[in-house]
Amino acid sequence: MSDTDENQNGLKNTHVESESENENKGGGLFDADLLLTSDAELSSNKDLEEEKQEKQEKQEETVKPKEENNDLEFQSFGNKNDQSLEFKPEQLNSKQRKVPELHPPLWSIDYYKEFFNIETKEVFKKMGLSIIPFSTKFYSRKADLYGPFWITTTLVFLMSVSGNLASYMDSRKSGSENWQYDFTKVTFACTLLYGYVFLLPFIIYMISKCFISEKFEMTKLMGSIGYSLSFYIPVSILCVIPNESLRWSLVLIVGIATLVNIIINLYQELKNDGKMNRVLVILLLILLTHLTVVFLLKFIFFQYKEVKN
């Protein structure tokens, strides 16, 4: 993450540098001012110039010690103040909660604590929001990874247990006694569901990072997909009942309701970026994956099979 950020900043700086120096200065100052005076209001335009000068000096003082840690690339530029001024606000904007220097590294437990900072009530609220088809409230909530991970794990467990129970019921119904527990269902459920909840958002994040929007949050899509799976928990229990039309209707109702929810939420998130074709490709990717997962769940775990002796 931080690596790419730095690269982008580097690119931006060189780009701005190649333009006229006055513009560069103005842009840098303006950015810094936006940040510094967002709560303290600027009253008149005449004082603006003076204040800018003051702010610049202050900023210079505060930023200089930190700049020693930056790459040589940054220091080699002629206009040091502007780089620091441009550099700072962007970092603060992208990570609003903490000062970037204090952000824990990707491999530490503290890094993920942010995504597990959730209370019991909130988890249930989010589950409810993830099934209402035309509600767009889901993305407005803080992203977490507790829900997606444990809902998926629960579902892996339930799928393998109830899938086997369903085939047991079916074998009873068809009068066969030659039934045995199929443990390979566990590994299959694992691959399918973890892939769907964690790998698919990662792929979409990569695509969107390259072609659509820089701001796309992977954890929110993981949350949207993960929480939507929570409704397969009752479905997987009810699907034990050996009745094909009941199984089909349950799987399809939940599948379509959650699909609409995921797609509408994601569309809300991406629609402002203007490149409709690319957004549609991503939505299509989600649509196809979702339907594949729904049908695989139906055919692998809740399929009526006549067991012969």
Partner 1 sequence: MANQLDSELMIPNEEIGNTLDESVFATLLRDLKRIGTKLKQVLIFRGDKDNLRDWDLWGPLFLCLLLSVILSHGAPENQSSLVFALIFFIIWIGSGIVTINALLLGGNISFFQTVCVLGYCIFPLNIASIISLIFNNIVVKFIFAGIGFIWSIISSISFISPFIPTNKKVLAIYPVFLFFLSLSSIILTL
Please report, as ranges, the residues that interact with partner 1 according to CB under 8 A.
Answer: 109, 112-113, 115-120, 123, 146, 150, 153-154, 157, 161, 180-184, 186-187
**How many Cβ atoms are within 10 Å of 263's Cβ, its own excluded?**
18
Closest distance to partner 1 from the beta carbon of 96 (Å): 21
CB of 150 to partner 1, least distance (A): 6
Q: Which of 299, 262, 302 is nearest to 129 (CA)?
A: 262
Residue closer to partner 1 by CB (options 85, 156) is 156
Smallest gap, in angstroms, from Cβ of residue 172 to partner 1?
13
SS3 of the chain: helix, strand, coil, percent, to 5: 75, 0, 25
Q: How many CB atoms are closer than 10 A to CB 13? A: 20
Least distance between partner 1 and beta carbon 118 (Å): 7
Is the CB of residue 86 less than 8 Å from the CB of residue 56? no
**Closest alpha carbon to 270 in 200, 207, 193:** 207
Cβ nearer to partner 1, comparing 216 with 231: 231
To the nearest whole angstrom, how small is the minimum distance from the Cβ of residue 182 to partner 1? 8
Tokens, residue 199: 């790998």
Instruction: With beta carbons less than 8 A apart as the criterion, state whether 238 and 250 touch.
Output: yes
Min dist. Cβ of residue 154 to partner 1 (A) = 6
Cβ neighbours of 278 (radius 10 Å): 17
Helices (H), the chain: 2-18, 21-36, 46-67, 72-75, 80-94, 109-113, 120-129, 146-173, 184-194, 200-211, 218-228, 232-238, 244-270, 276-296
Instruction: Between 150 and 295, name the residue whose CB sits nearer to partner 1.
Output: 150
Tell me the CA distances in angstroms from 289 to 137, 277, 295, one per residue in order. Answer: 23, 18, 10
Nearer to partner 1, 186 or 218 (CB): 186
| Shortest Å, Cβ 259 to partner 1 | 27
Nearer of residues 46 and 121 to partner 1, judged by Cβ = 121
- Of 156 and 263, nearer to partner 1 (C-beta) is 156
**Least distance to partner 1, CB of residue 290, Å:** 25
C-alpha separations of 309 from 50, 107, 179, 242 in Å: 91, 53, 9, 19
Query: Using alpha carbons only, what angle is made at residue 273 by residues 267 and 284, rounded to the nearest 5 degrees?
Result: 40
Q: Which is nearer to partner 1, 30 or 146 (CB)?
A: 146
Say which residue the tokens 């005076």 belong to: 37
Residue placing its CB nearer to partner 1 in the complex, 116 or 248? 116
